[in-house]
Structure 1
């Protein structure tokens, strides 16, 4: 585990924030993901700063002076460059939805940290003297590779935290604590919009721990709610575990899942409202078991085989390289224009073009041997 490493000492925007806050408070903290990432030796693209000892009216004046934009004024949240600045607050759930909270200013660091979801996200660093605060043993959990919720009552108030828990577990290769998993099993995500669900799914799909996500989807009874399907197949689990070691693509999970279980892709994407570029990749050829050179080469008529999501084993990669089709698509020398000159047209032209391309491909394969 690396020691705390957040280097903003020479960052002009950070210094501007410190200078404008310093006359009014000495209690302002970097919080959440940027502190967590620092201990994981990961960089951060944005930084959250939580502020104490300033009332909302003065805070608004200071943020206007700084040039920050109010992105959630009812939650006392402002955006300035790569920094999100907010007053520490209590949140009390009063209605459904992620905006259904009553918000009050908080003036106690431990209470401010308590409203966060997981211990690893409740770490705090003072922006003035860089003093480190860890009220819920988040660093210990991070070192033990465990993700653990902080407070039962506040945790269940936002059902998105179920998916966020899976996302963190996959992104940082953590295990969800038993007590957190048990609590998450009681939570219903049906109040979440497709957009909020999908935003977490995209994060999960980009990781190399898809097998872990699939396991948690089943444990937490989320598979049918999210994918409208229930499965239990060891062969699929093995394929998922093997494929993620070789292929890094946001579409991999859906490509394997939809094709392996023969799920109608058009219907699935209409229901889930996932982005259409994933659908296009899911429509790639899917072949289980051994694949002969000809069937492999046919795929190369559309793309270099290194871009095929079905190239999920070392054996298939070697096979593609031997055919010299790993980095390059197969370039046919046969054109529709030539066939048109020979008298082919309409549907017959398409059939003849396909027939000759396949024969050309067979000849090419023979030449490679």
Structure 2
């Protein structure tokens, strides 16, 4: 069975896998697992696939996947990659050491045992690729219908604290709320064992999500903000930030989406954006872009917008969500393009300026041009 909302070449790759097993290993049962099944149920775009193979021993599995032309990755219980598809044996993971690598892996005997290792019920769904039947051992379909994030197995869940951050970013991506018992469990979990790479990986997914205010609520409610960022927030502050995040989603430049969350958090809580970047271990591009941005002032004047547009068109300002900024910048002609003061260094060189005097006079004339174009207020 090929899920109906698969893009090319994913559908073609899946057909090749299904045809291969149908011809050479007809008794092997293939199940689509994880987020792809969730997204199929929700009608969302599917970008990659995970398949688990039941009814085949590890040695035969290895030889079969090599025959298919898939590439093996990992160490214990190989996962094979075939294009955009991960193909693996169903497994059980048992915590035996510290960190996300401290797990012992063994072969699962059935679908329920295999799906128990999943974090949330919505991610524990399995699709039988022969019959098209969805296997739902944990109530994931009902939780998707109710838009709820619920832990599958509390005992297994606490073995990997990254799952708390996954709940946060899923809330922002799917607009789901976190079920109370699951929320209480996650609040009790320490997060000090997470590596910088894993922390940023989950935060980045949230930064790119459409429902930032849901992620904001989850980050505060699950104590992620307190444990990782050292931040707290009262109800009034949350409401203000949530409103700003909702507005930024509808107004902001799509290319700037990853940076709105930190910008709004730092502006509204009066914290350094660069310091927040360091807490969650962002790449340097985040620090560079955020340090180049101006915070939203208490009183926004035309002159402020004009000076800001010397740097970039106002549509690229992360404070675009502020009241009437879009309307005013469009009227001033600086929403889509930077303001050109018409001052060129070559002109000043011809007038005899050089060195520090040249830089000082250049700044003076540019500011004079801004005042002339946008007024002298502020």
Q: TM-score, normalised by structure 1?
A: 0.92
Give the conservation status (yes or no) of the 8 Å contact 1:51–1:85. Answer: yes
- Displacement, 1:76? 2.8
CA RMSD in angstroms, aligned pairs only: 2.1
Give the conservation status (yes or no) of the 8 Å contact 1:296–1:320. Answer: yes
Q: What CA deviation, in whole Å up to 9, does each residue of 1:7-30 have, x standing for no partner? A: 589933222212332325342101
Q: 2:19 maps to which residue?
A: 19
Give the conservation status (yes or no) of the 8 Å contact 1:240–1:256. Answer: no
In structure 2, relative to structure 1, the CA distance for the partners of 1:350 and 1:236 (3 Å cut) is: farther
Q: Are 1:188 and 2:190 counterparts?
A: yes
- Displacement, 1:36? 0.5
1:342 to 347, 351, 366: 351
Q: Are 1:60 and 2:62 counterparts?
A: yes
Find the aligned partners of 1:256 and 1:291 in 2 and give their Cα distance. 16
Is there any run of 5+ residues in structure 1 with no aligned partner, and where?
none
Give the conservation status (yes or no) of the 8 Å contact 1:5–1:41. Answer: no
Q: What CA deviation, in whole Å up to 9, does each residue of 1:174-211 have, x standing for no partner? A: 00000100111111111110100100000111123222
In structure 2, relative to structure 1, the CA distance for the partners of 1:236 and 1:122 (3 Å cut) is: closer
Q: 2:218 maps to which residue?
A: 216
Q: Secondary structure at the match of 2:52?
A: strand
Q: TM-score, normalised by structure 2?
A: 0.90
2:307 to 298, 305, 327: 298
Moved more, 295-304 or 311-320: 311-320
2:280 to 245, 248, 272: 272
Find the aligned partners of 1:178 and 1:49 in 2 and give their Cα distance. 31
Find the aligned partners of 2:68 and 2:85 in 1 and give their Cα distance. 12
Q: Secondary structure at the match of 1:251?
A: helix
Give the conservation status (yes or no) of the 8 Å contact 1:8–1:14. Answer: no
Give the conservation status (yes or no) of the 8 Å contact 2:200–2:282. Answer: yes
Q: 1:123 maps to which residue?
A: 125
Find the aligned partners of 2:275 and 2:282 in 1 and give their Cα distance. 11
Give the conservation status (yes or no) of the 8 Å contact 1:236–1:260. Answer: no
2:363 to 341, 354, 360: 354
Is there any run of 5+ residues in structure 2 with no aligned partner, and where?
none
In structure 2, relative to structure 1, the CA distance for the partners of 1:227 and 1:130 (3 Å cut) is: same
- Displacement, 1:356? 0.8
Count of aligned pairs between the two proteins: 363
Q: Secondary structure at the match of 2:76?
A: helix
